[in-house]
Amino acid sequence: MSTTEFSSEAFASAIRAGNCRDAVASIMGQNPIGINRSKQLLIEFNKLDPSDQEAILDWSQLPPERLPIKDQRWYVEVIARHEMAHIVVAKAMGFSTGEATLVLHSPDGSHQGTSLIHLEHSTPLLQDVSTYLERRIVILLAGYLAEPEEAHERTSYAHDLIRKKITESDLQKALELIRLKLNIEGSSQPNAVEGALHSLVKQASSIVEANFGVISSLAQKFAARIDFYEQRIGWDGHEIDVQPEIQNIVLWP
């Protein structure tokens, strides 16, 4: 939202609702650190009632890493589902997993998540490599497919992946691996990449749907550990394995 679109009245209303961070972020258009970074912000600040000014001043003294997450809790669960889907689908396909981590950097949604997948079996033959790549692609695609809470939205996400209508980094990695897999197999047919992507998205979607209850439950527990922006949370491989939901994973041949 631009500075011209955010009025003093809306600014004050947001502050009174306890959303000081969002009010400041909306005017500054960037990750807020204090109140002295924007001329427009100071103009709006000077129009506030003294009590609202005091609320902003108190808020601005918090160090960035201790700024609490409030009304973005839903988003933390979305990105937690993404990471837990990588883990659960990997286990469903016979992989062991290591640490999963998550950090929400700022109110603009920027974040970083990781999930470690282990390659436990040797791949001495090209066919072994091709099979590994196929399974790894499915694991990559699963993260994005598991983000929506509603099943019909997950179907829509699958269509977006197939049509390559998104800039999701995991999709770009998956496409690169698909091209490598096709090269190994000596496939040069027209639309081979699109055909492979369609098939693998369908497979990933099936595994996600079969295990969505497990993914969602793990994600809720994982996301609940984040209280502040820039707070890094993580489960190591053992912590993941001892979660009771893991026993309910539907295995995939």
Q: Give 167-208 pLDDT, tens digit per residue.
A: 789 999 999 999 999 999 998 888 999 999 999 999 999 999
Distances (CA, A) of 84 to 46, 148, 201: 45, 13, 17
pLDDT 10s digits, 117-171? 998 788 899 999 999 999 999 999 999 999 999 999 999 999 999 998 887 899 9
Listed by start position, the domains of the chain span 3-62, 73-248
pLDDT 10s digits, 76-117? 999 999 999 999 999 999 999 999 999 998 877 889 999 999
In this predicted structure, the answer to whether residue 61 has a pLDDT above a threshold of 70 is: no
User: What is the crossing angle of helices 151-162 and 126-145, to 10°?
Assistant: 130
Backbone angles phi, psi at 100, to 5 degrees: -120, 135
CATH topology for the 73-248 domain: Methane Monooxygenase Hydroxylase; Chain G, domain 1 (1.20.58)
Distance CA 179, CA 175 (A): 6
| Closest among 244, 235, 240, 246 to 102, alpha carbons compared | 235
Distance CA 84, CA 222 (A): 9
Tokens of 172: 């770009």
Q: pTM of the prediction? A: 0.75
